[in-house]
Amino acid sequence: MSSEEQPSITPLTKDEIRREALRRRNAIEPESRATASLAICRNVMEDDLFLDARGLHVYLPFGTEVDIKPLIEISWEMGKEVGLMRVMDDGGIAQYSISPSTDYRRTKLGILEPVDAEPFDMNLCDLVIAPLLAADEHCNRLGYGKGYYDQFLAQYPRPTLGVAFEEQIFPLLPSDERDIKLDGIYTERRFIGT
């Protein structure tokens, strides 16, 4: 393969990419972000992985992340089980079932977590919707750097879709053996698959 045919890696470290991706995401106007989030949710709702899933594992949007609340609400309406990760005080992770009546509290980081929720039965989980800070054209995902989702996906391998604004997509991200590749990524404009 000649040097012209090799994919170019974004010439930044993971931390530099995180900062750049967050800068890009935060620069999206709130109205545009809301419109794009809804388009992303609609795209996921049409995917067979979503339609056929008995249950799905989601995240609650934080800050300027893709707002997947419409996806969560339609999941409940369709009778799907919905689970959510909670980071424990010792750094471990646990999965909890959420419903329209679930109560939440904010962590020190400002992230909502369920209060008095039942454990989520991962045997019913057929799809994971993963948050991300950056992704690339090869379904590599870059999160916030704590490794919670890589740990979770290594423990519970499931079909996993990332959701991102087009501004969060880079040509190629640096990755290593601990990074779990996504099965696909939906933006407001397209589907990126492996």
State the average pLDDT for the chain.
Answer: 89
Mean pLDDT over 82-100 rounds to 86
Find the mean pLDDT for residues 164-188: 91
**Which of 90-98's residues contact partners 24+ apart within 8 Å by CB, and which partners?**
93/148, 93/151, 93/152, 94/119, 95/57, 95/119, 95/120, 95/122, 95/152, 95/156, 96/120, 97/121, 98/72
Q: Residue 194 is which amino acid?
A: T
- pLDDT (tens digit, 9 = 90+) per residue, 104-141? 888 877 788 888 889 999 999 999 999 999 999 999 99
How large is the average pLDDT for residues 155-167? 95
Which fold is adopted by the domain 14-188? Rossmann fold (3.40.50)
User: Which pLDDT belongs to residue 11?
Assistant: 60
Highest mean pLDDT (candidates 3-12, 21-30, 98-107, 150-159): 21-30
